[in-house]
Amino acid sequence: MTTSTPTERAEVTARLGRFVDEMKRIVRRGLPPERTARTVAECLAPHLGADDLLTARQCESDPTHYRQHVLHAEDDGSFSIVALVWLPGQRTSIHDHVSWCVTGVHTGREHERRYELLPGADSSRLIATREVVNEQGSVCGFAPPGDIHRVWNGGDSKAISLHVYGADITRLGSSVRRIYDPPAGER
């Protein structure tokens, strides 16, 4: 993954600024993680697809791997917002997260495969449980445990998604808690 430098201050459009303010109000409520994720997802949905959400620079891709643009990291570490830009075929590893997470497809579509570990099993017993195609405007929110997945652009054009994490990924370096080996027969 290519990422924008965490020390850079992202340009904030007026719409993105309004969303950041909404996020601050939601996070300050101190709701349980799953409820926070659902509330953030509801808040994010109306912004997806809006031409004035991201700058042209925040929509730039990388030819070798999906690109992450850090849009905002709250000073107290309570949340961060990134835009992921995917060219066709680019994908993540199978992973889970350090905190609650909300994703919303801004343009294009993302494919997602969700997984579970069999009870008491190591990562060699990872099984795929669901595959979904998230179209433009789709949102989903989740919280650990139960957030193991892989995401990729299976389409033929660029896709952009917004991800909101209940942690400051500029301090942590990533939203990923663990990376898993693919199940047997899956590359």
Identify how many contiguous H helices and E strands the chain contains and give both numbers: 3, 11
pLDDT tens per residue, range 96-154 = 877 888 999 999 999 999 988 877 655 458 888 899 999 999 998 877 777 788 888 98
Q: Which helix (H) or strand (E) holds 165?
A: strand 159-165
Bridge partners for 139 per DSSP: 104
pLDDT tens per residue, range 55-96 = 999 999 999 999 999 999 999 999 999 999 999 999 988 888
* Right CATH for 2-180 from 2.60.200.30, 2.40.50.140, 3.40.50.300, 2.60.120.10: 2.60.120.10
Pair 176, 97: CB distance under 8 Å:
yes
Locate the domains of the chain by residue range.
Answer: 2-180
pTM: 0.87
Pair 15, 47: CB distance under 8 Å:
yes
> Residue 6: its pLDDT value, please?
40
pLDDT tens per residue, range 29-51 = 998 888 998 999 999 999 999 99
Residue 8 has pLDDT above 80, yes or no: no
